[in-house]
Amino acid sequence: MESELTSTTGPQGRSWAEAASSAGASIRAADQWREIRSLGRNGVQTTLPSGREVLQFASNDYLGLSAHPAVIAAAVVATEVLGTGSGASRLVVGSRPVHDELEAALAAWKHAEAALLFSSGYGANVGVLGALARLGVATGHPIGIVSDELNHASIIDGTRVARVPIAVYPHNDVAAAALAVEEHRREGRRSVIVTDSVFSMDGDVAPLTALAALAGDTGSLFVVDDAHSVFAGTSPYGSVVADTGAEIVVVGTLSKTLGSIGGFIAGPRPLIEWCRNTARPFIFSTAMPPAAAAAALAALAVVRSDEGDALVGALRRNVDRFDPAHRSAVIPVVLGDSAHAVEVSAALLERGLLVPAIRPPTVAPGTARLRIALSAAHTGGDIAALLAALADLGVDVDTRINS
CA distances from 104 to 124, 132, 263, 283, 313 (A): 17, 22, 14, 19, 26
Identify the burial level of 77 via C-beta atoms within 10 angstroms of its C-beta, where 0-12 means exposed, 13-18 middle and 19 or more buried.
middle
Alpha-carbon gap, residue 292 to 75, rounded angstroms: 6
* Catalytic residue list: 200, 228, 256
Question: In this structure, how many other beta carbons lie within 10 angstroms of the beta carbon of residue 87?
Answer: 13
Q: Could you tell me which residues come within 8 angstroms of residue 373 by beta carbon, excluding any fewer than 6 positions away?
A: 57, 58, 59, 60, 62, 329, 330, 331
Alpha-carbon gap, residue 170 to 16, rounded angstroms: 39
Identify the three-state secondary structure at position 9.
Answer: coil
Alpha-carbon gap, residue 266 to 272, rounded angstroms: 7
Q: Could you tell me which residues come within 8 angstroms of residue 265 by beta carbon, excluding any fewer than 6 positions away?
A: 115, 116, 118, 124, 127, 128, 249, 250, 251, 252, 272, 275
Alpha-carbon gap, residue 164 to 145, rounded angstroms: 7
